[in-house]
């Protein structure tokens, strides 16, 4: 079973390295990380584990002023561009001004609640990334023990996403109750799906290790 420890470390490093976004600063510098939350004033991100660090130090959480970031390139190919919506001195609120590739626009009327609800679900599919912490925690515990992994899996999948992790792409749409309900519902479904997928990965790895050891 001693051989399982390097294998688990390798799997954890691989998971951390695979999920990367890129923050492009206004001075041209790039930060390869995993974006956790975006607020009107700052962006919180997780730097990946350094593969050369033999101690396998956990990824560190950092923040950067949103006005210092020109664009975020997400791992799914979406690019989010920011612009100061205030005065020429740059004292206003930072808002998203473009998405690429842009989604096909949906005809939105305030009185059409069904359309706003579907728009909320669609936007959550593209812009919600707040499941990372819950999914990663479930994966780590499940790799050590799938039985104990059921505890965070059940708890995390049942709990709705925290408000600070939702990252609504449009503050105007956020004010619409139907849109917000659709977004939150889809985000919860995505979080639960990712959590249970990672629990399944932990279970599969343990089954494979048992088969290898008992041969």
Q: 97-106: per-residue pLDDT in tens?
A: 544 444 443 3
Cα(17)–Cα(2) distance, integer angstroms: 24
Per-residue pLDDT of 118-173, as tens digits, reads: 888 998 898 888 888 889 999 999 999 999 999 999 999 999 988 878 888 876 67
Q: Which tokens go with 10?
A: 């390798």
Query: Structural domain boundaries of the chain?
Result: 19-102, 104-215
Q: Is the pLDDT of residue 16 over 50?
A: no
What distances in angstroms separate CA 194 from CA 89, 133, 153, 170, one per listed residue?
42, 11, 10, 24
* The model's pTM: 0.50
Residue 102 CA to residue 99 CA, distance in Å, equals: 5
């Amino acid at each position: 079973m001693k051989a399982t420890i390097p294998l688990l470390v390798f799997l954890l490093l691989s998971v951390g390295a695979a999920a990367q976004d890129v923050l492009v600063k206004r001075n041209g510098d790039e930060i390869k990380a995993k974006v956790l939350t975006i607020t009107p004033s700052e962006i919180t991100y997780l730097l990946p584990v350094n593969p050369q660090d033999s101690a396998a130090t956990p990824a560190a959480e950092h923040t950067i002023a949103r006005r210092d970031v020109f664009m975020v390139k997400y791992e799914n190919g979406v690019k989010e561009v920011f612009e100061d919506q205030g005065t020429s001195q740059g004292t206003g609120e930072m808002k998203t001004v473009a998405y690429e590739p842009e989604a096909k626009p949906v005809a939105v009327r305030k009185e059409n609640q069904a359309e706003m609800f579907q728009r909320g679900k669609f936007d959550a599919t593209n812009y919600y990334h707040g499941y990372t912490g819950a999914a990663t925690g479930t994966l780590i515990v499940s790799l050590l023990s799938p039985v104990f992994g059921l505890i965070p899996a059940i708890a995390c999948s049942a709990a709705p996403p925290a408000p600070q992790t939702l990252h609504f792409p449009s503050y105007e749409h956020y004010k619409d109750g139907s849109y917000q309900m659709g977004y939150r519902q889809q985000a919860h479904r995505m979080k639960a799906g990712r959590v249970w997928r990672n629990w399944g990965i932990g279970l599969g790895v343990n089954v494979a290790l048992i088969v290898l050891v008992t041969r």
